[in-house]
Amino acid sequence: MPIKYNLIERGEPGVTGGGTKKWYAVATNDGELTVDDLTKQIEKFSALSEADIRGVIIALENVIQDNLANGKIIRLDKLGSFYPTLSSKGADTEEDFDTSYIRGASVRFRAGTRISNALKTTTFKKNK
């Protein structure tokens, strides 16, 4: 199934009035999957029960959450990696910097090779 997209017009960043505007593709979501949906799909590929699958998904979520909060990178082999990042204000000197400069933390995901390769071969379809 193709990835659907819409077109949006954007100006040049940092140019007063937007400069020369061009059209760019933006992916649109085609629904979502919940834990229930994932559980039902995984059930088709395994001998595990729905309760076992749901338990593993919830446990994985908890383990990832705890370890990201402790600064760890979570590598899930071919699926990809989750890792924490920080956003901060700049200090004039290294000595001036303290934790009050940190605005917050977020999580990034870097897809593994199988997911990356799947997206390299996908097709695209403009939304109507």
Residues 26 and 45 in one domain: no
pLDDT in tens, 61-108: 999 999 999 999 999 998 999 999 999 999 999 999 999 999 999 999
The range of the structural domain enclosing residue 45 comes to 33-70
Q: How many domains does the chain have?
A: 3
Residues 57 and 45 in one domain: yes
Residues 38 and 60 in one domain: yes
Residues 56 and 77 in one domain: no
3-state DSSP call for residue 20? Answer: coil
Residues 60 and 24 in one domain: no
Output the pLDDT for position 17: 82
Distance between CA atoms of 75 and 53, rounded to whole angstroms?
Answer: 20
Output the pLDDT for position 15: 84
In a domain, 58, yes or no: yes
Give the global pTM.
0.74
What's the mean pLDDT in 56-62? 95
Give the H or E element holding residue 116.
helix 113-120
CB 109 within 8 A of CB 76: no
Residues 56 and 66 in one domain: yes
- The answer, yes or no, to whether residue 53 has pLDDT greater than 90, is yes
